[in-house]
Amino acid sequence: MGTRLESKVALITGAASGIGRETSLLFASEGAAVACVDVDETGGRGVVAEIEAAGGRAIFEVCDVASEASCGDAVVAAEDAFGALHIAFNNAGIMDSADDDAVNTDEAVFDRTLAINVKGVFFGCKHQIPALRRAGGGAIINTASFVALLGAATPQIAYTASKGAVLAMTRELSVIHARENIRVNALCPGPLRTELLMKFLDTEEKRQRRLVHIPMGRFGEAKEMAQAALYLASDEASYLTGATFSVDGGITAAYVTPE
């Protein structure tokens, strides 16, 4: 067990799988008490069981991040269980397999993607910020994406729009709350070998179209994103706020030029 998050309480959305699962396990191993939040009760409770088996502290709370009331309940559950909230990782998100270009994406797909990926972050922050104030400050991490910085080679207009919104919200939140000892940063993963992306890149041709753009030549792993989130959540990042923290195998360095 490490000590980088000792005596801290963290709330993690999308905790049942992918980045959320790996971050929940890592944060708990570094001493945090973790409120694992997800719509997937079976998966979420499984993560809590893993944490407890390793000697950590965690609770599970069912939460639909597209519902403000549900996001509020998750914060209440974290504070009730552990007495405070110091870290919030707004990580829950979807990538709809029907997401396409502007011509071929249905309005329902667009609306559902933004409801979860954008409103989920907004509702989370709406209830987490008062809790962080009560704790005397803390850190918020919002999962954006490399597609918030460059166009995706495979069309996914709703997802790209949603992650651009998350990045923009993160910047504003960081400025507004900087004097309250609340840091807000955006984690921008590159393409990952997670179920979320592999379901979307469902042919070898689609996967290769992504891989050819990544200087490292491989998909990232959820565990690597968890390590980045740990840094952003820890006191080691005490002077870091409003950052676009790209962990992407070099893809944005290869394609994004400073203005």
Could you identify the residue written with the tokens 């965690």? 58
Q: CA-to-CA distance for 92 and 141, rounded, in angstroms?
A: 11
- CB-based contact 114:162 (threshold 8 Å): yes
Number of continuous H segments (helices) and E segments (strands) in the chain: 10, 7
**Cα torsion for 3, 5, 6, 9, to the nearest 10°?**
-160
In the set 159, 231, 239, 255, the catalytic residue is 159
Going 58 to 62 to 65 to 69, the CA torsion angle's sign is negative
Question: What whole-number distance in Å separates Cα of residue 207 and Cα of residue 213?
Answer: 11
The b-or-e profile of 202-216 (16+ CB within 10 A means b, else e) is eeeeebeebbebbee
Maximum CA extent, the chain: 51
Q: Is 159 a catalytic residue?
A: yes
Residue owning tokens 């979320």: 196
* Catalytic residue ranges: 159
